[in-house]
Amino acid sequence: MSALLETIAKVRKDVCELHAELTRYGLVVWTAGNVSGRIPGHELMVIKPSGVSYDDLTPDLMVVTDLYGVPVSSVTTEVGETVQWGNPNLSPSSDTAAHAYVYRNMPEVGGVVHTHSTYATAWAARGEEIPCVLTMMGDEFGGPIPVGPFALIGDDSIGHGIVETLKNSHSPAVLMQNHGPFTIGKDARAAVKAAVMCEEVAKTVHVSRQLGEPQAIDQAKIASLYDRYQNVYGR
């Protein structure tokens, strides 16, 4: 098997398995939500098929597309051999255009996740950022989790909003207004972690506000928390 085909197979397997983390942490219902992963070194990505139950997902059902969201069902290997794979009857997720736009415009991103997790989506419905009032948020997000603009599904408008909101932010998560959270990462696993953490802090800060006004963390301390966690912790 060629190196490219091995890479595609690995990313399809990883992306498929990571969808189980979304259900395990209660971030999705029915067939909503999706994980995607970039094929390193190539203008390709892998994403969940549209309308397929999480329980029925297998690596061979993961859809490979180019970075404009157009499905790709074959590839020419390094030795000039054309190899086909996949089910031509499966369509990629309805959010594919948004994911593809992120990959085209944020080359450092290797994974994108979208969920409708309850608490993060509730903040998105209010059009309100999640303030950085927890050391966990300083560590993971380097500040508040921002809100992106309202955008309709169907083209890359959501992708525009994600990129514009996150390009000058430490946060790997954005709450798209009236829609829900999208997260990014160096790979698909990192993006899934960001989605899990986003929902956790969304819930905790919401509960805190029922008890009173949360105490803000000084920006200098947030910067110190973020630097330590990203560059020292676990190294």
Q: Read off the pLDDT of residues 15-37 as tens digits, 9 standing for 90 and up.
A: 999 999 999 999 999 999 999 99
CA atoms in the 13 A half-sphere facing the CB of 162: 30
CB contact set of 55 (below 8 Å; sequence gap of 6+): none
- Model confidence at 1, in pLDDT bands (50, 70, 90)? low
Tell me which residue of 187, 189, 199 sits closest to 103, measured CA to CA: 187
* pLDDT value of residue 73: 84
> For the segment 83-106, what is each residue's pLDDT rounded down to a tens digit?
776 676 789 999 999 999 999 999
* pLDDT value of residue 36: 98
Q: Domains (ranges, CATH) in the chain?
A: 3-231 (3.40.225.10)
Q: What is the pTM of this model?
A: 0.96
CB contact set of 109 (below 8 Å; sequence gap of 6+): 38, 102, 103, 184, 185, 186, 191
Residue in the block written with tokens 């966990």: 136
> For the segment 140-181, what is each residue's pLDDT rounded down to a tens digit?
999 999 999 999 998 999 999 999 999 999 999 999 999 999
User: What percentage of the chain reaches a pLDDT higher than 90?
Assistant: 89
Residue in the block written with tokens 């819930």: 203
* pLDDT value of residue 235: 67
The length of the chain in residues reads 235
Element (H, E) at 194: helix 188-211
CB 149 within 8 A of CB 230: no
> For the segment 42-98, what is each residue's pLDDT rounded down to a tens digit?
999 999 999 999 999 999 999 999 999 999 988 777 677 777 766 767 899 999 999
